[in-house]
Structures are given as C-alpha cells and as structure tokens.
Structure 1
Amino acid sequence: MTRTTRALQCSATLVAAGLLLTACGSSGGSGGSSGQNAQSTSFTGRGPITYVAGKDTTGTIQTIIDRWNKLHPKEKVTFIQLPTDADSQRQQMIQNAETKSDAYTVLSLDVVWTSEFAAHQWIDRLPDNAFPLQNMLKPVVETAKYRGGLYAVPGSSDGGLLYYRSDLLKKAGITSPPATWSEMTADCAKVKKLPEAKDMSCYAGQFQKYEGLTVNFSEAVNSAGGVVTDASGKPDVDTPQAKKGLDFLVDSFKDGTIPKEAITYQEEDGRQAFQSGKLVFLRNWPYVYALAQKSPIGGKFAVAPLPGLNGTGSSSLGGHNLALSSFAKNKATALDFMKFFSSEESASYFLKNASLAPPYTNLYDDASLDKQYPYLPVLKESILHAVPRPRVVQYGDVTSAIEKEAYAALSGSKSSSQALKDLQADLQKLTAQ
C-alpha cells in the first residue's frame, strides 16, 4: 500500500471515550493546507460520472444507480467496484488522487478516511445546506466533517452487533444473550452440549491483518475499559485495561473459543461461517442481517449489543460517507447524485433490502420499522455509543501499526504485553509528526 509521509504539525481533539478525532494539515506534494471552502469550489459541469465503492455484496447499489440513470439519461453514473477489503479500497482511491485522475467522481469513503482525504485536498468541501444533516444522527454527521467544514455526506452508518443462534441458546435453557465475555463463553459451553452443536465453534470476528482487525482490536480495548488514546489525545494502549482487552482475543484463540481459522477472517468469511452453522456467536455489521435471513439459519438467530469485560461492550463507529473527488469533472451532476444517493428514501431502501444502518434518526424511531427489523433499537444504541477510530491524516500508517501488533499477539509471535508496548511506541511517533 502506498504510504504518504509528510512533516505534519498535529492538532488533535477527542470525541467519545477518548479516541483521536482530527489531526493535521498537510504540506507539500499533494495539496497544502485545508483552507479550501465550499464557496471556492465550482460545482459546475453536467454529464456522465462514476461512483466508486467496495464490491457490493448486498446487490442493492446498482438498483439505486439504475433509478438515477433512468431519470438522468444524459448524466449517467457508472459503478466502479473496488475490492471488498477496506485497505485495498483506500489504496486505489489514494493512487487515483495522487495522479489527479478524473476517473473517480463520487467516492464511498470509510468514515475514518474523511479527515485524511480532506487534509490532502483529495476531496472538495461541500456546502453545508445541501444536505438534511439536521435529520441525521449526530455522531454520524461528525464523521463527515474536518476542521469544522463538511467534506462528505453520510451515506450509511455502522455499529458492530453480536449475532447469535437464538434457537440453540433457547434449547440450551439460556433466556437472554450474553452481556460479558465470560457469559458468552459459558453460554457456548452449554450450547455445545447439544448434539447438533457439538462441532460448532463459539465466536468469531474479523482478525485478518487488515482494517477489520483494527476495528476488532479497538472494540476489545474499549470494551475492557481501555482507550487507544488518552484524554489529552496521546496514545495510551500500554495499559492494564488495554491488555485485558487484547488478552480476551489472544486467550480465546488459545483455548478454542475463537477457531484457529478465524485468523484469516474478514467480514464475509465470518458471515458465511455463521450462516453455515459453524459459529454460535459472530461479531459483524448490520448488513449481515438481511443476508442471514435468506440463508438456512433464517429465523434462527438474533442480535444483541457487543459484550464486554464487565458489561455491554463498545462498538467501533463504522459506515461510509460520500465525498466528491477534487479532480472530477461534471461536479454539478455529482452533487445532485450525492443528494439522491444519500436521501432518506435511498437510506430506507438500503435498510429494507440490505439491512444497512441508515444515518437518519427517524428511521430508527419508526415503530413499524422496528417491528419489521427488530435489530434497529440495538443498532441505534450501538451507533450512539460507538467509539470512533483515530481520524488522522496519517490514518494508513496508524491502522497499519495497529494491525501489525494486534496480529502479532493473536498469532503468538509476541506476547500481549510486548505487542502493546511496541504499538505504544509506534503510535507516539506517528501522532507526534
């Protein structure tokens, strides 16, 4: 992956339980400071554009694009699908920006990339009044901002959920999902005594060395009372609390709570394992719900908040924002398409057909929707109490450091203590630049 290294003067603030929110202006090669404003951007030009996102595993995005294309035959949108893993998506988007190519128009950014792309002037600042931000969940809207400016519009949000085999828990005499890690392992032991569950594994998340590991590591640390950065914005992962979180994952691999093959799992691997009856519990995003309902375990599972050390855990804040490439053509068309794609009507469609988390508050508060999609109240709480990952200009280097050290601990090449000590040193260097 291309890593952009620059001398940066960092100014950090914190949100939600102490993770680094914003960081740095850039200097040199790719664009200078972020003094750009929406008034200086010329949203002109109409004609064909592209929408760039990770591979659509839900099969719903093209439907929305087709609706747009039918209404705007002279301003058609072409869907460019990138790989499923976030690291590869980010790499290809950065490569496109560094060459100032106009091949990419509207970008679907992981929420944590907004600051990085804005600081490097790879995306345009947007007019605040162009989108109904007042109708969206506040934590979701904040992910679209950088230094007080709007550089993206929320397309979807995301909060981690605990999927569990409700049919098997009920048969084992368990009346409610686990709230703690110890309760989860105890529930697994009971379920595995059932003849139909003897060959099942207990739990999995996303543990391959990619962005999903940063998410799962951060959730474990936060759910054990630790933080990735302290109240002053400095890295603070070499702590007893962070060690308890990482030890939960490490020990779970050692004792078989997490199956050995889960070290290779990304989101889709875990989903398929859960749907095929290999797992009792799965940590994943809400998109899994609709797909699992169409699988052999449809009607046999439910969702709950993520468990933690002493009670309900904390999700990492996920989701995707729509941003406009600074190098794109036909920006008037692009802005209109962003309004269309991020509208409440589109969000409702994605909720109903792909169980994607909507950014709009009232979709969570609709009793009829809650009845139809019983995971919505759990998802709303997950998002409102989620902890953002570090939103920094050098995010690629930060997440790479987290992935490297977390993976070393999970794979057994380092102790948890050494991995956290080394990660602390790496993050101190990166956030001091």
Structure 2
Amino acid sequence: MMQRRRDRRLVGLALAATAAITLTACSASDSGTSAPAEEAELEGRGPIQYVSSPDASGAAQATIDAWNADHPDEQVTWVELPLDADQQRQQMVQNAQVEGDAYSVLNLDVVWTSEFAANRWITALPEDALPVDEFVPATVEAASYRDTLYGAPYYTDGALLYSRTDLLAAAGVTEPPRTWAEMQSACDAVLALPDAAGMSCYAGQFDKNEGLTVNFSEAVASAGGSLFDAEGQPTVDTPEARAALDFLVNGFASGMIPRDAITFQEEQGRQAFQEGGLVFHRNWPYIYKSLSADDGSSAVAGKFGVSAIPGENGPGVSTLGGRNIAISSFAENKATAVDFIAFFTSREQEEARLALSSRAPVIPEFFEDPTVTTTYPYLPTLLTSLENAQPRPKVVAYGATTAAIQDEIYAALTGDKDPETALADLQDALTAIVNG
C-alpha cells in the first residue's frame, strides 16, 4: 500500500517538473547554442575543488571530510562562494567564460542547470554514474537538459509556511491559513495579544536577489497564473500576476509585511522568525533544524509548526527548489569528480546530511519512513508541497530573465513604480529576452 501511494506521488512530482520543457526548447533554439549529444570524456584523477555557497550546518564539510579520509591522493578542497545566489552564479559564469580550471564540482541552483548545460559550461554525466531510478523524478528532470543528465540531484526544496502555533492557539486559531485572507485574519487575532507585542505578521524573501524571483513566482502561481505560457511566451501582464503583486505591495503598505523585510534573504528571514519577530514566515526546509534548537539559540523551539504556503483562494503553489552537483567542463581530474559526486549524493550521505542540516533528501523513501518523520515531521508536508510545485522558468537566458523580474518587482515593492506599470514593463522586458 505504501509503495502504491509513493508511486502516485512520484507521478505528481514528475509532472511538476515537466511543465518547463517547452521553455527550455524555445530558449535553446533562440540562443543558437546546443548541448553535446554525447558525454564528454571524463578522465584524470587527483585533487578537485568543490564550489558552493556557505553551509552553516557543517553537513557538506562532513561529507568532504569523509571522502578525503579515504582518498589521500584525490583530496577535495572547498571553494566557498558568497551566500547571495546571484553572486554565486555570477562567479561561476565568469570562471566558465574564461574556461578556468579553478572550479571542478559546482553546486548549482536547479534552475541554472539548463543554462550551464546549453552553454557547455558543465559536462554530461555517465548514464550509470547515479542510481537515478531511486531519486524523486522531479529532481532528475531538474538536473537534466535535453534528456541528458548534467547534474546529480543534491537536495530538493519546496516552500513551507512556518507559524507560531503557540500564539495562534492562544488567539483561538486552530488551523493553518489556506488563503492570504485567512493569514491576515490570523495575524490580526495574534497581534492583538499582549504576548505578541512588537511582532509582525509575515515575511518571505524580498531582497533584490533570486529569492524575490522565487517569492513572486510563487505568488503568481498561487493566484492561478504563471510567468510563461506553454509556448514559452511571458504572461506577467495578467489579472493573476496583478493579484499576486498587489498581495505583496499591499502587504508592505499595510504593515502586514514589515518594512525591513525588503532586505530579507533566507537567513535574515530565518533569524527574524527564530528570534520571535514574526507570526508567519515563508522559507525552505533547511531552517527547521535551527528553529528547533534547544540550546537557547531559538526563541521558538517547540512553539512553531509547518504547513503549505497559502494562496489567493486556497493552498498556494510552491516553487520547486533544490540544488544539483555538476562537473565544470574546464575542470581537471573529471574521473575523480564523477566518483566524488556519486559519493556526495549517495543514500548514506543523504541520510547523514538530513541529520545535520534538515535539507530535504532526493530519495523519496525518507519522506514516509516513520523513523525519519518522527524526527523531521515537516517531511510529509514538504512532499505535498513538492507534489504541487512549479519550476521557475527553465530557460537558457536565465540570468537576464531573473534580473528583469527582480528589477520590476522590487521597484513595485519599494514604491518606485505602481504595480500596473511594473508588470507592463516586465512583460516587455521578458518578451525582448525570449524573442532575442
């Protein structure tokens, strides 16, 4: 029975990812680039570099240390990039454009994989390098370009709504909000409590970086819209996108979203919720570990819960998140890199990292294993989020696409443009990018 339920869920996960294939094909054709049909030769053994953002949990470093202990002649050195996702991508792109060999194994946001593959900045993986049939199908799709695997799924992500269940209960709110209006109503009840003095209602990630693209994409999808249609044409000057942007703009204007949230990336939002400043917070699963800490560092340990993000008229739609591990086309010692990636994404290491970081694994059995979900009760909720998740635009010109979204949506949130103008300008900008 559990296997049949899992199979049905995996079908849903696969469908969530395949919606972006048309965008990939259109953009690749427009750019004039194409990925090699066959795997490049993966030769050479020796030291390699793992290139990634910081990992405060220490989970990735523990995996590297385990590898290094058994491979004295094939040591892995961590090259740490900035925490900001856009800066990470920029540095990786710059290294690829000069064909630098300083980066071997790249930790890529799932949405960058198509761009890097189309530009031949990463190398296709051998067909037998990974047990892909054991992974969540959506993660394999997100790691592929033109039916070829270019990355190894590292962890997967869907948005979760973290809520102060202790204060909600005190205010008589017994169910998590399913809609934006219900979230506002719940906040009104909680913020009237003396114990909620100085708190704000809600925050996501609204700084002018990739997090803003994610949060806007989710809001549009949660209002019944999309950023692009099935033919790869932008659809942001629509009533659905307007409803989504109005929700965010009005949230800042009314104080539902605190003013300082305009600077929030993931960590700033996590800190605000963890310190007791927010009733609700949209973030990824990785913060669960920090929020639950019982060493005095979390003011909300034992006082919060997780649920699906809300939408305009019902449960919201998460953006499909996560990371892939890929090999730079210009790296030396690619044979070592292949073996390291297989080790890094193995079941054993996935389980070890879950214990250290609460990063969501890419192996579906973890989501329903009672011995795991007892410790990580958010996993079933996350699986539901992933079943309904939608990918960001899977386009070759992703850098220009996300920059345009950030420019216009940030201008609306800060009051530099009214929502109608911002969406019209965004429609024009994305149309120009898509049509070259």
* 1:29-428 paired onto structure 2 within 5 Å: 33-38=34-39, 41-294=40-293, 295-428=298-431
1:58 Cα deviation after fit: 2.1
* 1:12-23 paired onto structure 2 within 5 Å: 21-23=23-25
User: Matched residues in 2 for 1:72 and 1:324: separation?
Assistant: 19
1:14 Cα deviation after fit: 9.7
Aligned to 2:5: none
User: Matched residues in 2 for 1:279 and 1:43: separation?
Assistant: 49
Aligned length: 417
Aligned partner letter, 1:311: G
TM-score normalised by structure 1 residue count: 0.93
Q: Aligned with 2:377: secondary structure? A: coil
Aligned partner letter, 2:144: K
Q: Aligned with 1:50: secondary structure? A: strand
Aligned to 1:9: none
User: Matched residues in 1 for 2:127 and 2:142: separation?
Assistant: 14
User: Matched residues in 2 for 1:346 and 1:33: separation?
Assistant: 33
1:264 Cα deviation after fit: 0.6
Q: Is the 8 A contact 2:191 2:197 kept in 1?
A: yes
User: Matched residues in 1 for 2:165 and 2:19: separation?
Assistant: 31
User: Matched residues in 2 for 1:20 and 1:85: separation?
Assistant: 29
* Deviations 1:163-189, CA, capped at 9 Å, x for gaps: 011111111111111111100010011
1:319–1:18: structure 2 CA closer, same or farther, 3 Å change rule?
closer
User: Matched residues in 2 for 1:102 and 1:133: separation?
Assistant: 28
Moved more, 16-25 or 293-302: 16-25
Q: Is the 8 A contact 1:156 1:320 kept in 2?
A: yes
Unaligned runs of 5+ in 2: 1-14
* Deviations 1:301-327, CA, capped at 9 Å, x for gaps: 111000000110011111000000000
User: Matched residues in 2 for 1:135 and 1:300: separation?
Assistant: 35
User: Matched residues in 1 for 2:147 and 2:178: separation?
Assistant: 37
Structure 1 stretches of at least 4 aligned residues deviating more than 2 Å after TM superposition = 13-21, 23-28
User: Matched residues in 2 for 1:349 and 1:401: separation?
Assistant: 38
1:25 Cα deviation after fit: 3.7
User: Matched residues in 2 for 1:99 and 1:36: separation?
Assistant: 23
Aligned partner letter, 1:346: Q
User: Matched residues in 2 for 1:214 and 1:25: separation?
Assistant: 21
Moved more, 273-282 or 56-65: 56-65
1:27 Cα deviation after fit: 9.8
User: Matched residues in 1 for 2:83 and 2:265: separation?
Assistant: 9
Q: Percent identity of the aligned residues?
A: 53
Aligned partner letter, 1:138: P
Structure with the higher helix share, 1 or 2: 2
Q: Aligned with 2:24: secondary structure? A: strand
Unaligned runs of 5+ in 1: 1-12
* Deviations 1:96-145, CA, capped at 9 Å, x for gaps: 11111110000000000001000110000111221111111111110011
* Deviations 1:376-420, CA, capped at 9 Å, x for gaps: 001111122111001111100000000001101111111111111
